[in-house]
Amino acid sequence: MAHPVVHWQALVRDPQRAASFYEAAFGWKIDDANALGYRTVEAAGRGIGGGLWPLPDGQPMVQLFVEVPDVDAALAAASANGAGVIIPKQVLPDGDEMAVIADPEGVAWGIMRART
Amino acid sequence: MVLAEFERRRRANARFSVRSFALVLGLDSASLSQVLRGRRKLSARAAASLAAKLGFAARQRDVAVNESLRRSHERRVLRQVARTAFVPSSRALARRLRLRADDVNAALARLLRDGRLAMISTTRWVVTEKEKE
C-alpha cells in the first residue's frame, strides 16, 4: 500500500516570526491552540496542511510527513531498506505518533500516524 | 570603542590582559597599549578594521550566550519531566518555567533530536538513559 504525504513542517529559527510572515504573505491560517503550542497551518483549497516547529540546529528546512497505519512497522521497513532513524517514535500529547528518518539519500522524512 | 570593549572584557575576566586583547585584534601590544592610554590615535581605516573585528567577536559572544541559554532551557525542561507530577504539555512547562512555549519547544526539538527525551505516551515523557549517562 502506498503511503501518502499528508503534512509538511517548516523547521524555523523563530516560529512566531515565521507565522507572521506566512499569514501576511500567503494568507495562511495558523493556530497554536494545542498542548504543544505547535503552530498548525490549515490546509487551504487543494493544498495540504502543515506546521511550524523550532529548528534544532543548522539551516531552516521543510520536512514532509508520510502517513502510515503503523509507525513501528514503517520504521522497521525504512531501516531494513537503508534509512537511518533521526527521531524514534514519539507519542504527542494529542495522540498523534511521529518519527523522523533520513532516507538513503539523506533526505529527512517525517513518519506519522494520526490519532484514531 | 576599543577602550570600552577592553574594559568590558576586563570586568568579565580580571586576568584579561592588554596582550590578550592585542592577540584578538591582531595588533602588537605596545601599539594597543598606546591606543588604550589615548596616546595614539587610530586612523579611520584602522578604527573601521578594529570595529569589524570587535563586531565579529561580539557576534561570537552572542552565539555563545544563546547556546548557553538554550542549554539552560534544556536542563530546566528535563528537571520538570523528571518530576512525578509532570504533565506533558509545552504550555504547562512554559507557564511553570516562565518561558515562552517556543523556547520550551526549541528545547524539546533538540532533546528529541539528541535522544535525551522520549514521549512514550500521551501522558508520559521520560528522560532517557542517554541523558543520564
Helices (H), chain A: 15-26, 71-80
The predicted-structure confidence for B39-98, as pLDDT tens digits, reads as follows: 888 777 787 788 788 877 777 777 777 888 899 999 999 999 999 889 999 999 999 999
User: Which chain B residues touch A38 with a CB distance below 8 Å?
Assistant: 90, 105
Please give the model's pTM, rounded to 2 decimal places: 0.75
Query: Does A58 contact B at CB distance below 8 Å?
Result: no
pLDDT in tens, B12-43: 888 888 998 888 888 888 988 998 888 888 77
- List beta partners, residue A30: A41
**Cα–Cα distance for residue pair B60/B58, rounded to 1 Å:** 5
Cβ of B89 and A35 within 8 Å? yes
CA distance B47 to B106: 39
> What DSSP string runs through B85-114?
T----HHHHHHHHT--HHHHHHHHHHHHHT
ipTM: 0.91
**Cα gap A91→B86, rounded to integer Å:** 16
Q: Hunting for cell 521543510 — which residue is that?
A: A62
